[in-house]
Structure 1
Amino acid sequence: MQQLQKLLDFYINSSIHVGLSVYALVRMTGFLFQITAIDDCALFGFFGTIVGYNFVKYDALARIQKLEMRTELKAIAGLSFLSFLAAGYCFIHLEKHTKIIAFVFLILTLLYTLPFFPNRKNARNWAGVKIYIVALCWVGVTLFLPIVDAGIPFTTLVFLVALQRFLLIFVLILIFEIIDLKVDDPNLKTVPQQIGVRRTKIVGSLLLLGFLLLEFLESPLQYSALFLKLGIAFTVWLFLVFSTEKRSKYYTSFWAESIPILWWGLLLFFS
Structure 2
Amino acid sequence: MFRLQSLFDFYIKSSIHVALSVYALVRMTQFMFEIPYDKPISFFAFFGTIVGYNFVKYDALARAKKRQMRKELKVIAAFSFLCFVAVGVSFFMLERVTQMVAVGVLILTMLYTLPFFPNRKNARNWAGVKIYIVSLCWVGVTLLLPLVDAHQGLGLDFYLKCIQRFILVFDLILIFEIIDLKNDDPHLKTVPQQIGVKRTKLLGLLLLLPFYFLEFFKSHFIEKQLVVNLILVVILSLFLVFANEKRSRYYTSFWVESVPIIWWLMVVFL
* TM-score between both structures, scaled by the size of structure 1: 0.97
CA distance in 2, matches of 1:246, 1:47: 32
Q: Report what 1:141 is aligned to.
A: 141
Q: Report what 1:192 is aligned to.
A: 192
Evaluate the alpha carbon distance shift between residue 67 and residue 45 of structure 1 in structure 2; reply closer, same or farther with a 3 A threshold.
farther
Q: Deviations 1:99-140 (Å, cap 9, x if unpaired)?
A: 011101111111111111011100000000000000000010
Q: Deviations 1:35-93 (Å, cap 9, x if unpaired)?
A: 11511111000000000000000011223554555322111101100000001000000
Q: Do 1:102 and 1:141's aligned partners in 2 also have CA atoms closer than 8 Å?
A: yes
Q: Report what 1:250 is aligned to.
A: 250
> How far does residue 222 in structure 1 lie from its aligned partner after superposition?
2.5
Counting only pairs closer than 5 Å after superposition, residues 10-21 of structure 1 correspond to structure 2 as 10-21=10-21
CA distance in 2, matches of 1:220, 1:107: 34
Q: Report what 2:150 is aligned to.
A: 150
Give the match's secondary structure for 1:192: helix
CA distance in 2, matches of 1:113, 1:65: 18
CA distance in 2, matches of 1:107, 1:117: 14
Q: Report what 1:176 is aligned to.
A: 176
Q: Which amino acid aligns with 1:119?
A: N
CA distance in 1, matches of 2:37, 2:97: 16
Q: Do 1:61 and 1:67's aligned partners in 2 also have CA atoms closer than 8 Å?
A: no
Q: Report what 1:38 is aligned to.
A: 38
Q: Percent identity?
A: 64
**Structure 1 unpaired stretches of 5+:** none
CA distance in 1, matches of 2:97, 2:132: 24
* TM-score between both structures, scaled by the size of structure 2: 0.97
CA distance in 1, matches of 2:156, 2:125: 34
Q: Which amino acid aligns with 1:171?
A: D
Q: Report what 2:22 is aligned to.
A: 22
RMSD, matched Cα: 1.1
Runs of at least 4 residues of structure 1 off by over 6 A?
none
CA distance in 2, matches of 1:173, 1:67: 30
> How far does residue 31 in structure 1 lie from its aligned partner after superposition?
1.1
Give the match's secondary structure for 1:70: helix
> How many residue pairs end up in the alignment?
270
**Structure 2 unpaired stretches of 5+:** none
Q: Report what 1:98 is aligned to.
A: 98
Q: Do 1:128 and 1:188's aligned partners in 2 also have CA atoms closer than 8 Å?
A: yes
Q: Report what 2:122 is aligned to.
A: 122
Give the match's secondary structure for 1:90: helix
CA distance in 2, matches of 1:232, 1:148: 27
Q: Report what 1:59 is aligned to.
A: 59
